[in-house]
Structure 1
């Protein structure tokens, strides 16, 4: 095979490698997002005096905000800018390296002289580094995956995007609990120190699988033609896109405010209603809860084209309203029937996946042109992570001062607000080609007399439409 033929073949396969890289990268993120679900239960057993509610919140929250700095939030904003100003591939390699570094430090975490307090501060720091990488994965993986899917099939871009982003993120929950069950079954409940370190160590291996795909990526044709690397007209961008940006930011804040604390502390909630708080039984119910949340991902993928992105998202938010009220108002009775409680809890989370879980990443990638897709996606996701941090911080005080049922009633309130924000601010971009979005954006800039450079310089040209990053 000639050199030109090999290059052409690599170019043809590149979008598939890009999509696969997004899937492998985000499954690692899903695992990290859910790692603390059972770890919280383990730490509470190992350190009943030291692992207070404040410490639990700090360690759980560290992936989102880190130790006195915004981890995932910084990652999403900064990496979103790198995506647009430097390139998709560079951003993806940076985020993977940070996740591996943070996960390695967390696995090896120790306190000075065996101090439990030192251990949890070390974990907070390490999980903060991981959080920067995890946060950066959102704009880096999602923008590249959406552009690659658009190149191959505009019609099926939505379902493909959902399956390589929200599905693998959601699958991270059952995966993390399954790994926990396997490890605790092998090590035994008398070796919980070993159990949590092995589970954290698995988080090192997952992102390493991504490097192969990412080293074979090529820059998408959309980015090559539409990138603006210098003199970005931010004033004009805000003037044109303030409304959709308000919608994607607002809806993401509400969704993460509900879904992250409910995911992180669901193991603690289930443990509290199980006799003696048995760890293995808690994990088994947690696995069922995670499995019940997955069907919503597939339903959302099926509905996003015929029903439209915006309508599907509103249907999902309505699930928070319905099931949040059912669980919240009947909490004292329903918690005496554990299977029924877990089923309703799972249905609420499944509707979250069906609507905002599936649609937010999709509409955040579709609502903006290629030149600012990573930046606006990163800002939207960062505001979402701010909602997750606020929700995680408020979760324990709400339970302690208002009662556990109010965490579900507040979820219903967020569902109602999410419906309104989506209806009034989120555009429906179903079936719209990114090429048309970019063309209209360039026409808008020309109308306002902006004459900056568009497109990246060709280096290592691999075809008329794609170049190696």
Structure 2
């Protein structure tokens, strides 16, 4: 460990002059095979873990349609919102708590814990029943199970994303942004089409006369996904960046807030606006499509939903392509502008455009694609890059949690907006959020394109020293055994 109070002047002077962007690429050649392979497995484990998050986030899209069909008298707007929001409430708790845990106890500890929570919650959801066959009891059981799952899903955001950003910074600094996007937002977004594709396969196999079997099997598959990476997470190594820079005791939170308050407003505010629009539009998109499909046919609704999710995916690749070329902040503002343009097109012409279902799906998909390209891709990236390693998980988790608060508020308000103002207003409000998102991003979100994470760590340590903070930096026990690493490779 390093005692910050003992830093000499020469080391401070060295910290004061950041190295040129991406100069670390040359240093990567000097890393040992163990370190390079460790970074690769960390990135891969983050990607596969977040696929299960994307699946869980979108599981209720078609489940809402099924429950409405099975229990029209019981599955009211209030119950639908409660069950959908339970995942969000759990996610908020998970993001805040696990964000702190992954900074104080380590990335690996947090990742293993979140995986267990998702598995337990998924099993409970699959087996959900009401006492004596009570339908109301079923949905209360499901609410609790989804809440437990949400804690794990929410915890994945800071735990997986911080690990992925640090490992990508070690392995391929110049491509940190695109790599981070592909192993985070891409797999999260892919969870939407995956959940619908699984639903269609199960529905085709079981038939529409066995809808209870359909939704339980879909919930059960959500248990299998996180289990695929559990072994690797148990064996994974802690990133070198965390081992060198972690602060596990006497964390200077007040000094951190004093230095990063502006960035925190940016990441929290932009994430709130993004999730306020995208989450309810994802959860209730099946219901929206069902309302414009003839006879509300479940299979046709699912097919259109699959097309919608597929159209939204190219935006992820566009964001990965642009993040280094345009910069993080400009790409995010461009994405928010898509909400403005397509939100107004759909909202102002809703009655006419919904009579042409393919056209409605295309515009709806383009709006979500721009969301993926901009805030969807960039929010996780800027939240991981804007803060130094000792507080990265905590501030990332807080930003993501405020986003999930926006998602919960949006989900809670979605049905009342539809019922009282009309469905078109859900899109017009999305356009308003797009304008607000552009302003918040421009004023508060820092552009960390090309900045090495170790440079920000060094600047933070110098700032702490100048403000009189004294404490231990780094960890002695952060490196797992060589045997563990070899076992992981096998």
> 1:83 aligned to 2:102?
yes
Question: Quick one: distance in 2 between partners of 1:461 and 1:328?
Answer: 54
1:314-325 matched pairs, under 5 angstroms = 314-325=333-344
* Secondary structure class of the residue paired with 1:458: coil
Question: Quick one: distance in 2 between partners of 1:115 and 1:219?
Answer: 47
> 1:216 aligned to 2:235?
yes
User: Cα deviations across residues 297-345 of structure 1 (Å, max 9, x unaligned)?
Assistant: 0000000001000000000000000000000000011000000000000
Instruction: Note the C-alpha offset of 1:216.
Output: 2.6
Change beyond 3 A, Cα 1:226–1:400 = same
1:24-43 matched pairs, under 5 angstroms = 24-43=48-67
* Secondary structure class of the residue paired with 2:469: coil
Question: Quick one: distance in 2 between partners of 1:381 and 1:442?
Answer: 25
**Given the alignment, which residue of 50, 62, 69 partners 2:74?**
50
Question: Quick one: distance in 2 between partners of 1:73 and 1:411?
Answer: 22
Instruction: Note the C-alpha offset of 1:153.
Output: 1.4
Kept in 2, the 8 Å contact 1:314–1:422? The answer is yes
Residue 21 of structure 1: aligned partner: 45
Residue 359 of structure 1: aligned partner: 378
Residue 301 of structure 2: aligned partner: 282
Kept in 2, the 8 Å contact 1:149–1:160? The answer is yes
Question: Quick one: distance in 2 between partners of 1:280 and 1:286?
Answer: 10
1:18-167 matched pairs, under 5 angstroms = 18-65=42-89, 71-167=90-186
Question: Quick one: distance in 1 between partners of 2:104 and 2:231?
Answer: 24
**Given the alignment, which residue of 314, 330, 351 partners 1:311?**
330
Shifted more, 291-300 versus 205-214: the winner is 205-214
Kept in 2, the 8 Å contact 1:145–1:161? The answer is yes
Residue 368 of structure 1: aligned partner: 387
* Secondary structure class of the residue paired with 1:218: coil
Kept in 1, the 8 Å contact 2:206–2:213? The answer is yes
Instruction: Note the C-alpha offset of 1:9.
Output: 4.7
TM-score between the two structures when normalised by the length of structure 2: 0.91
Shifted more, 134-143 versus 54-63: the winner is 54-63
Residue 197 of structure 1: aligned partner: 216
Kept in 1, the 8 Å contact 2:243–2:479? The answer is no
Residue 418 of structure 1: aligned partner: 437
Instruction: Note the C-alpha offset of 1:51.
Output: 0.5
Question: Quick one: distance in 1 between partners of 2:144 and 2:422?
Answer: 31
Question: Quick one: distance in 1 between partners of 2:478 and 2:430?
Answer: 50
Kept in 1, the 8 Å contact 2:238–2:479? The answer is no
Question: Quick one: distance in 2 between partners of 1:333 and 1:279?
Answer: 23
Instruction: Note the C-alpha offset of 1:10.
Output: 4.2
Runs of 4+ in 1 over 4 A off after TM superposition: 459-463
Question: Quick one: distance in 2 between partners of 1:340 and 1:359?
Answer: 28
Kept in 2, the 8 Å contact 1:20–1:213? The answer is no
* Secondary structure class of the residue paired with 1:394: helix
* Secondary structure class of the residue paired with 1:156: helix
> 1:388 aligned to 2:412?
no
Residue 464 of structure 2: aligned partner: 445
Question: Quick one: distance in 1 between partners of 2:141 and 2:52?
Answer: 21
The answer for unaligned runs of 5 or more in structure 1 is: 1-7, 66-70
Kept in 2, the 8 Å contact 1:14–1:216? The answer is no
Residue 246 of structure 2: aligned partner: 227
Residue 4 of structure 1: aligned partner: none
Question: Quick one: distance in 2 between partners of 1:324 and 1:371?
Answer: 39
Instruction: Note the C-alpha offset of 1:210.
Output: 1.2
Instruction: Note the C-alpha offset of 1:459.
Output: 5.7
Kept in 2, the 8 Å contact 1:17–1:214? The answer is no
> 1:377 aligned to 2:396?
yes
* Secondary structure class of the residue paired with 1:349: helix
Instruction: Note the C-alpha offset of 1:212.
Output: 2.3
Kept in 2, the 8 Å contact 1:11–1:462? The answer is no
Kept in 1, the 8 Å contact 2:384–2:396? The answer is yes
**Given the alignment, which residue of 291, 313, 318 partners 1:299?**
318
Question: Quick one: distance in 1 between partners of 2:379 and 2:296?
Answer: 35
Residue 3 of structure 1: aligned partner: none
Change beyond 3 A, Cα 1:460–1:369 = closer
Instruction: Note the C-alpha offset of 1:215.
Output: 2.1
Question: Quick one: distance in 1 between partners of 2:47 and 2:267?
Answer: 22
The answer for unaligned runs of 5 or more in structure 2 is: 1-31
TM-score between the two structures when normalised by the length of structure 1: 0.95
Kept in 2, the 8 Å contact 1:100–1:208? The answer is yes
Question: Quick one: distance in 1 between partners of 2:357 and 2:167?
Answer: 44
Change beyond 3 A, Cα 1:348–1:150 = same
> 1:259 aligned to 2:278?
yes
User: Cα deviations across residues 45-75 of structure 1 (Å, max 9, x unaligned)?
Assistant: 000100011111111111101xxxxx11010
Kept in 2, the 8 Å contact 1:320–1:351? The answer is yes
Question: Quick one: distance in 1 between partners of 2:480 and 2:364?
Answer: 52
Question: Quick one: distance in 1 between partners of 2:67 and 2:403?
Answer: 27
Kept in 2, the 8 Å contact 1:292–1:343? The answer is yes
